[in-house]
Amino acid sequence: MNETAENRNASMFQLSTLGPAAIQSLVKLDPRHVARNPVMFVVEVSAVLVSGLWVAQVLGADGSGIGGNPAWFSFTVAILLWLTVVFGNLAEAIAEGRGKAQAAALRAMRTSTDAHLLSGETVSAADLNRGDVVVVEAGETIPGDGTVTEGIASVDESAITGESAPVVREAGGDRSAVTGGTRVLSDRIVVEITQEPGKSFIDRMITLVEGASRKKTPNEIALNILLAGLTLIFLVVVVTLGPFADYAGTTVSVATLAALLVALIPPTIAALLSAIGIAGMDRLVRRNVLALSGRAVEAAGDVDVLLLDKTGTVTLGNRQAHEFLPMPGVSKEELAEAAQMASLADETPEGRSIVDLAKTVGGREHGFGAAEPEVVPFTAATRMSGIDHEGTRLRKGAGDSVLAWVTGQGGNPPSEMKETLDRVAGEGGTPLAVARDSQVLGVIYLKDVVKEGMRERFAQLRAMGIRTVMVTGDNPLTAAKIADEAGVDSFLAEATPEAKLELIREEQKTGRMVAMTGDGTNDAPALAQADVGVAMNTGTQAAREAGNMVDLDSNPTKLIEIVEVGKQLLITRGSLTTFSIANDVAKYFAILPAIFAATYALSGDSTGPLDSLNIMNLGTPESAIISALIFNALIIPALVPLALRGAGYRALGATALLRRNLLVYGLGGLILPFIGIKAIDLVVHNLLGV
């Protein structure tokens, strides 16, 4: 699903998209659909009213052409009003059409797949339920979303992510989640299905990109209420204008009043509002980010604080055992052997790297023999793991946790231990302490590297007004070293799930919007609490379900792009609202002088003092009204590319962005209609003789 900018722009107005969109724009003339948009509903009602007026004029009904306007004028106004509604529907239909095209591609991928249950039975993938266990061999398609419970395999996820490079999925750890529709390239895995029928990841993607389940966001609802209020006010103004005009000795036609009403209300932003929201979701999908709600996209635009996990986000995430550092009286071989034994049941990348490094220090291959050890798994509470085997207890983990455990066993850790832990941490590494019963054996030096360009990216976030917080389970010294190297604003060391939750809640209590990325089960509570929770697609099922966004590329730094899309959505909506309202000023100067040009005219004069408002020197009252309506209708499709692409965004402060918005879209929206309406009037009046 990755696309270049050129391809995206090129596909915006392909005939394959425009054809169905044009048909849908006519289908959407259904009043039940248009009624969802109060402004466009008023435009459609006005079009129906003027169309009825024209029919009545054609049939010769008396008084139907109040104000002396001929039937052709009513017909022209009616056509332009209908075009305004159709063009508004077209903007929404194009945005939806791009999503439907993506959905069609996903449906083509979602073929009927056989699922081989662990029991040996073969069933259709559509019949799988949560809790079913299936076996997937090399070359087979994974039948549903689930978690790898046994084995390790290379998986082709290009159908979901667009990336051709295979990824490794394995049991245990944070890379155990698999997605239905992806294909196993090698080996064999056992998968426990975690989805309900019809609610797979692909099903949700189809629903979201189609826009079928799109709900209006809080900002969109608020703007709709504002537009509806403005429409109601101007409706009252136009309705009462007739009696006032009669009192002044001027009769105004129904067609002219309808044209004035449509000019007063802001149909441009009303027509584009839905398209802007759909396009925002679409831009995220094209960046391989699945937003589970439009609210999350908007929230991303208002983010103040960003929490990032260190491992895999700030750093490369492949911490490997670099060196064994034994304590006095302990040989490196003895430490390596104990570390290897404690890690034989550890299927994490770090655990396997310890085993591999230990083999290079003595070159011995260890096993458990006939007696199976009791495995002590790692937990967030203990922050260590190990085994109990034949009366010997081996532990490895965070330095303070292991030292506390040794002390609890009656041991006396050497003073050199604390110095070694601090030195490794001070160098930016992660120290793991190793102990056997009541004896501290030494330290395993795990090394990780800060990703290239992270300092620049965090500086970019800072320019956006976003404070970055690195979250890590490492000790404060290691965390401080990595934080300084990466350029984050602050850090949370020795972070537990409870500590992450508390930090997020504290920030939210002060009114800040918090975003967080994560991939592990221990990240799930924080992802659920954050205003914007971005789960990695490679992460656990719990993490993916807790977040309100899923990054299909599993690139935690993509949160920067997510924030940019969110801000771009808000800026686009604000910019086009400013432009639409500014547009109305020119239309007032076009239509109002046309209505009252002859009001209070002196004897023998064809125009009165109010004709001085005709600052554009438009040809005739009829050409002025028609020119304003033509511009009003054409500006909507002209702005569709901007609504779909989004307004340009740069990392500037709020004041600078507001100033730029008012200058470009405020002043520009004020000047452009004067030029456009005058140019159209030259054609309508001089060439067509209106």
* Catalytic (active-site) positions: 309
Cβ pair 482, 460 in contact under 8 A: no
Question: Which residues are 450's β-sheet partners?
Answer: 315
H or E element that contains 136: strand 133-137
> Using CA atoms, how far apart are residues 71 and 56, in angstroms rounded to an integer?
9
d(CA 413, CA 400) in angstroms, rounded, equals 11
Cα(67)–Cα(53) distance, integer angstroms: 12
Strands in 374-376's sheet, in edge-to-edge order, are 320-326, 439-447, 430-436, 392-398, 384-389, 374-376
Backbone angles phi, psi at 509, to 5 degrees: -65, -30
Among 372, 375, 364, which residue's Cα sits nearest to residue 340? Answer: 364
Task: From 201, 313, 282, select the one nearest 558 (Cα to Cα).
Answer: 313
Cα separation, 637 vs 83, whole angstroms: 10
The answer to whether 575 touches 647, Cβ cutoff 8 Å, is yes
CB-based contact 242:49 (threshold 8 Å): no
How far, in whole angstroms, is CA 27 from its chain's centroid?
29
Q: What angle do CA 681, 685, 686 make, to 5 degrees?
A: 110
Phi, psi of 66 (to 5 degrees): -55, 135
Name the nearest CA neighbour of 111 among 24, 202, 20, 215. Answer: 202
Cα gap 363→446, rounded to integer Å: 20
CA atoms within 13 A on the CB side of 297: 29
- 592-to-238, 259, 599, 667 alpha-carbon distances in Å: 11, 10, 11, 21
**Helix, strand, or coil (residue 522):** helix
Q: Give, rounded to a whole angstrom, the gap between the first and last alpha carbons of the chain.
A: 51
Tell which residue, 218, 255, 213, 221, has the closest CA to residue 238: 255
Q: Which of 575, 534, 527, 526 is nearest to 551 (CA)?
A: 534
Parallel, antiparallel or unpaired: strands 439-447 and 430-436: antiparallel
Residue 603 burial by CB count (10 A; 0-12/13-18/19+): exposed, middle or buried? exposed
Task: Give the integer Cα–Cα distance in Å for 234 and 117.
Answer: 66
Buried residues in 627-636 as b, exposed as e (16+ CB within 10 A): bbbbbbbbbb
- The secondary structure of residue 663, as a DSSP letter, is I
**DSSP letters for 30-98:** SHHHHTTSHHHHHHHHHHHHHHHHHHHHHTT-TTTTTTS--HHHHHHHHHHHHHHHHHHHHHHHHHHHH
In the block, tokens 């239309």 appear at 587
Other C-beta atoms closer than 10 Å to the C-beta of 198 total 8
